[in-house]
Amino acid sequence: MNKRLAYIFATLILVLLVLHLQHVQRYLFFFREQMMMFLYDPSIIADRYLGVAGPAQLLSHLMVQFFKLPYMGAIVTGGLCTLSALLLWKSLWRITQSLLLLPLAILPTIFICDGLFDVYYDYVGLVAFFLFTLFLFIDQWFAPRLSDWWRMAATTLLALLLFWMAGAVAMLFAVCTLVIELVAAPRKSWQLLLPILAVAIVGAICVKTSLLADYRYAFQNGAYYEPILKPTNFYHTPWILTAVLPLLAPLAHFVSDKLRPLWLTVCSLALLVLVGLFAVHSANRNGQKMYPMIAMDHFIVTHNWQGLLDSPYTKSGNFLLMNRLNLALSHEGKLLDNFFDYPQVGPYSILTELKQLSLDVEITTTLSEIFYQMDNIASAMEKAFNTVEGLRYGSPSNMQMLVRTNIIFGAYPLAEKYIRLLEKTLFYKDWASDQRRYLYNEELINSDPEYGAKRKSLPPDCEEFTQSRGAYADLLLTIRTNPKATAARDYAIGYLLLANDTPHINSFADEFYGTELMPETPQRLQEAIVAANEKDLDYCRSRGVSEQTIHQYQQLKQTVVDARRNNQEIGGLLRPQYGNTYWYYLLVTSPQIAKLIEQSKKQPEASMSAH
C-alpha cells in the first residue's frame, strides 16, 4: 500500500513539477541550451569530459542540447528531480519506509531548481545531485548484504568513483552514508568515516596537484557555479537539507506508526502541498531579474520577431529590453511606424551603452543580432566572437553568426572552421552543412537575399573603425554605402529621434530625402522635421513633410498652449491622440528622462533604468 501510494505520489510530483518548471523556467531552458555546444567528436569528448566531474558534465551537456525542443527542459529537469527524490527516499528505507519522508525528499531538488534560476549555476549541479542519489541508493541497497569491512571498502570505492564522475557531491555522499549509519546502526557508524576521509584526501590531492583550482570545487555545491563568480551561501542549502533528512527519519517513522493509513496519506499530501507552495513562492521570488531578457533572447535566437513583440516584457523601458524590442520591430519593418507605441527612453533604447555592457555575454548575443540587422557586420562578428569565447563551451547561435559574418566577409577558411564545428552538433549540423554551398561561391553569395544585401552595405576596403564614433556614425556609413539598407536607415532615424538631435535630423533629411534610400520621408521623421523647423514650413515641405503632418502639428501646438494657459498636465492630455508620435516623446517623455538624469546626478547611487 505504502509503495503504491509512493509511486502515485511520485507521479503526481513529476507531473506538477514539469508543469511548474515549464511555467517558470521555460525560457531558462532555452537559454541554457544556447550556453553550450555539445560536439559529437571523440577527441573533444575525451578532452572535456574525462576529468573530475567530467562524466556528470557530459551527461548534463547531452541532456541540455535537447532543451532546444519545447517542453524538453521541463520534462528532463522534472524527471531528474522526481527520480532524485524517489532514490533519496528509498535510500532511507533502512530507517523507515514512511511516506511522510517523500515530500521532504523532494525539498533539496526544489532548492536546486531554485538555484537554476541563476544561469550561472550550471545544470551539472542537478545532474551531480541525481548521481549522488543514485549512488546513495546503491550503497544502501548493498549495505545490509555485505560484511562490515566489505561495506566500508565498497562505500569508499563508490565515494571515490562518484568524486571522479560528479566531483564535489561525493563529499555529500560520504557524509550522508555516515549520517544514515548513525541513525540505522550507530555502533558501526565509525567505519563510514573512511569514505569521508578518502574523499577529503583525494579532494586535497586534486587541489594540490592543480587538477582542481580550489577546495570549493572539491567539496561544495559551489563547485557547479560559474568559476569566475562566487556563489552565495544559498547554494549550501540543498546539501544541508539532504544531510539532515536522515535525522528526520526516526521522527517520520514514529509519526507514521501512530497515524492511521488514511491520516498518514492526508498528512503526506499536506506536506507535499506545503513543499509545492514553497516551490511556487521561491519561483516568484527568483524569476524576476533576468528572466524577461532571457525570454526575449529565445525569440531573438529563433528569429520569432512577432513572438517577441507579443511577449509581456515589451513595456518595461529597460534599455536592454528595449534593444531587443526595437530589434524585433526592425525585423518586422515596423521600427518607425510603431516606434513610440513602446516606452523609448533615449538613444540607449536602440543600442545600449557599449562600454558598460559590451563584455557581458548576456547582452553580446543581442548586440550581435542588432549590429547584424544594422548591417554592421564587423561589430556583429566581434560580439558573436566574444560570446563564443566568453562561454566555456561555446554558443550555437553565436557560432552561426560567425559563419554568416565570415561568409559575408569572404573569410571562407574561417567560415568553414565554424561550419565543421557546427556539423558536430545534433541540431545545427543540417544548417551548417547547408552553408557549405556559399563557401568560395561569390556569385551565390552576391545573389543571396540576405548575404548579398549585407555585402552591399560593406564599404570597400574601408579605413574607418566601427564603434569608434558612435552608432549613428556607423549607420551613416552603411546607408551611404548601400541605399537599399532600409533597416540601417530606420535605425539611424530612430537614433536621431531619441537623441532629439535637431541638427542631424535636418542634415539627414537634406542628404537623403528624395534619394533611393528615402524617396519619401517617414512619418516619424516628418514629425521631427516640423518640430525642429516650425518657423520654416517651406523647408519642411521641401523635405517631404506633408500638409497633414503640418496641420496636425499646428493642432498639437494649440492644444499645448491651451493646456498651459489652463495649468493642465499635458502628458495625459496628449497621450490619446499623440501618444505614439515623436511630438509626445519630445514634449512629455524627453523632459521626464532629463529630470531622471538630473536626479541620478544628484543621487549617484540611484539607478537610471530598471536593469
Partner 1 sequence: MKRTLYILIMYTLFTACNSDISIDRQLDAEADIFPDYKEITIPCNIAPMCFQLNDAKGIDTRLIIEGGNEKIQVKGEDGDFDIPIDKWHKLLAANRDADLQFIVCRLEDGKWAAYRPFTMHVASDSIDSYLAYRLIPPGYGLWNAMGIYQRCLESFEETPIMENRQTEYNCMNCHTFQSQNPKKMCFHLRGNHGGSVLVRSGRVEKLNPEFPDTIKGIAYPAWHPYADYIAFSSNRVAQSFFVHHRQRIEVFDTRSDAVVLDIARNRVITAPELSSTRDWETWPAFSADGKTLYYSTAPIVEPMPQEYKKVHFSVCTIGFDPESGTFGQQVDTLFNAGDSLSFNYPRESPDGRWLVYNRQECGYFPINHKESDLWLRDQKTGETRPLEAANSNDCESYHTWSHNSHWLGFSSRRIDGLYVCPYFTHIDDNGQATKAFIMPQRHPRTFYDNQLNSYNIPEFITDAVEVSQHTIAETVW
Question: Could you say which residues in the range 14-53 bind partner 1, by CB under 8 A?
Answer: 39, 41, 43-44
Smallest gap, in angstroms, from Cβ of residue 599 to partner 1? 32
Dist CA 9 CA 269 (whole Å): 8
With respect to partner 1, which residue has the nearer C-beta, 65 or 191? 65
Q: Determine if 391 is a binding residue for partner 1 (CB under 8 A).
A: yes
With respect to partner 1, which residue has the nearer C-beta, 428 or 513? 428
Smallest gap, in angstroms, from Cβ of residue 30 to partner 1? 21
With respect to partner 1, which residue has the nearer C-beta, 228 or 262? 228
With respect to partner 1, which residue has the nearer C-beta, 10 or 403? 403
Of the candidate residues 162, 308, 388, 556, the single one contacting partner 1 (CB under 8 A) = 388
Q: Determine if 386 is a binding residue for partner 1 (CB under 8 A).
A: yes
Q: Which of 67, 47, 46, 49 is nearest to 58 (CA)?
A: 49
Among left, alpha and beta (phi > 0; psi -120 to 50; other), residue 410 is left
Of the candidate residues 13, 378, 479, 509, the single one contacting partner 1 (CB under 8 A) = 378
- Interaction mask 519-538, partner 1, x per CB under 8 A: --------------------
- Interaction mask 458-497, partner 1, x per CB under 8 A: xxxxxxxxxxx-----x--x--------------------
Cβ-proximal residues to 301 (8 Å cutoff; 6+ apart), any chain = 30, 34, 365, 397
Q: How many angstroms from the chain centroid is the CA of residue 269?
A: 34
Of the candidate residues 257, 353, 389, 450, the single one contacting partner 1 (CB under 8 A) = 389
- Which amino acid does the sequence have at 65? Q
β-bridge mates for residue 121, sequence order: 225
With respect to partner 1, which residue has the nearer C-beta, 209 or 603? 209
Give the ranges where 287-346 is alpha helix by DSSP (H). 291-301, 305-310, 319-331
Q: Are 521 and 544 a contacting pair, CB within 8 Å?
A: yes
Rg (CA), the chain: 30
Q: Which of 334, 310, 401 is nearest to 364 (CA)?
A: 401
Smallest gap, in angstroms, from Cβ of residue 355 to partner 1? 11
Smallest gap, in angstroms, from Cβ of residue 222 to partner 1? 13
The three cell numbers of residue 303 are 528569429
β-bridge mates for residue 225, sequence order: 121
With respect to partner 1, which residue has the nearer C-beta, 25 or 57? 57
The three cell numbers of residue 296 are 526575449
Of the candidate residues 45, 69, 411, 573, the single one contacting partner 1 (CB under 8 A) = 411
Cβ-proximal residues to 33 (8 Å cutoff; 6+ apart), any chain = 64, 65, 66, 67, 68, 73, 396
Q: Are 126 and 118 a contacting pair, CB within 8 Å?
A: no
The three cell numbers of residue 217 are 570545487
Task: Residue count of the chain, please give it.
Answer: 611
Placement of cell 516568484 in the chain:
284
Q: Determine if 207 is a binding residue for partner 1 (CB under 8 A).
A: yes
Of the candidate residues 4, 145, 149, 228, the single one contacting partner 1 (CB under 8 A) = 228
Q: Are 271 and 103 a contacting pair, CB within 8 Å?
A: yes
Q: Determine if 379 is a binding residue for partner 1 (CB under 8 A).
A: yes
Of the candidate residues 69, 243, 414, 537, the single one contacting partner 1 (CB under 8 A) = 414
Q: Determine if 355 is a binding residue for partner 1 (CB under 8 A).
A: no
Stretches 306-314, 333-341, 382-390, 570-578: which one binds partner 1 (CB under 8 A)? Answer: 382-390
| 89 burial via Cβ count (<10 Å: 0-12, 13-18, 19+) | buried
With respect to partner 1, which residue has the nearer C-beta, 43 or 147? 43
Q: Determine if 243 is a binding residue for partner 1 (CB under 8 A).
A: no
With respect to partner 1, which residue has the nearer C-beta, 417 or 611? 417
Q: Determine if 136 is a binding residue for partner 1 (CB under 8 A).
A: no
Question: Is residue 36 helix, strand or coil?
Answer: strand
Q: Determine if 208 is a binding residue for partner 1 (CB under 8 A).
A: yes
Count of residues that interact with partner 1, criterion CB under 8 A: 50
Smallest gap, in angstroms, from Cβ of residue 611 to partner 1? 19
Dist CA 114 CA 498 (whole Å): 39
Dist CA 192 CA 148 (whole Å): 10
Q: Which of 517, 579, 577, 583 is nearest to 550 (CA)?
A: 583
Q: Determine if 353 is a binding residue for partner 1 (CB under 8 A).
A: no
| Residues within the interface to partner 1 (CB under 8 A) | 39, 41, 43-44, 207-210, 213, 227-228, 358-359, 361, 364, 376-379, 382, 385-392, 394, 409, 411, 413-414, 416-417, 420-421, 458-468, 474, 477
